[in-house]
Amino acid sequence: MSRQATMNKTKTLYEIFDVEPEEGVLVEFENGVKVLPILECKKMLHSDFHKWSTNNFNSYYYQRGHDTYFSCSVELNLWLPIDGQMHHFTFVGSVSFNTKNYETLSQGEVNENHAATGLSLATVNAASNIGKKFGLGMNSKRLIDHTPETQEKKTRRPSMKKSIDSIVNKTE
């Protein structure tokens, strides 16, 4: 689908992009997790939409024990001509990660720009809401297959009021 193509009004955005990603676009890791690299995502956004941009990037660091985490969110804005009229769509993506997981880049260089890493990951996350073509549900079967068994029901503790009442009754 090219940027100049006009979409049929009867189809929703989800229906338009409810197609499998092109062969070789997704990267699969040894553990079976699939990801859409940011460069591939940007290429697809450029070819499938008239225009796109990111807005309202918010980020912060937080400390948890000895680990530092980075968290951010971003809005992905898309413009697509449908039936001769330009339509605007907004999706939100977010990500949180331990900065230790992104200390080095692929060339072995130190990653000092967690904001850029976060923006890329959050943008891909937002784009995945568009439809299958952008990775919607690509790991859902894996998540279902790896959901831990539920534990047996834990014994229920008495409520605070019952605990206090039992103490008061014992002292009487």
Is residue 165 domain-resident? no
φ/ψ of 60, rounded to 5, equals -160, 155
Is residue 18 domain-resident? yes
DSSP string, 53-99: EEEEEEEEEEEETTEEEEEEEEEEEEEEEETTEEEEEEEEEEEEEEG
CATH label of the domain that carries residue 28: 3.30.390
Report mean pLDDT in 10-residue bins for the chain, 172 residues: 48 82 85 86 92 95 91 95 87 92 72 88 93 83 55 59 69 60
φ/ψ of 166, rounded to 5, equals -65, -35
Is residue 2 domain-resident? no
What predicted TM-score, i.e. pTM, was given to this entire model?
A: 0.71
Is residue 37 domain-resident? yes
Instruction: Name the packing angle between helices 114-127 and 38-48 (round to 10°).
Output: 50
Is residue 157 domain-resident? no
The residue to which tokens 């591939």 are assigned: 40
Distance CA 78, CA 87 (A): 8
What is the predicted pLDDT for the residue at 49?
93
What is the predicted pLDDT for the residue at 3?
45
What is the predicted pLDDT for the residue at 69?
92
Is residue 147 domain-resident? no
Look at residues 109, 101, 93 and name the one whose alpha carbon lies nearest to residue 59: 93
What is the predicted pLDDT for the residue at 154?
53
Radius of gyration of the chain (CA): 23
Copy the structure tokens of residue 26. Answer: 């997704």
Residues linked to residue 126 through DSSP beta bridges, in sequence order: none
Look at residues 159, 1, 167 and name the one whose alpha carbon lies nearest to residue 80: 1
φ/ψ of 151, rounded to 5, equals -75, 160
The boundaries of the domain holding residue 28 are: 13-141
Is residue 35 domain-resident? yes
What is the predicted pLDDT for the residue at 152?
53
Copy the structure tokens of residue 63. Answer: 């400390």
Is residue 96 domain-resident? yes
Number of domains making up the chain? 1
What is the predicted pLDDT for the residue at 2?
47
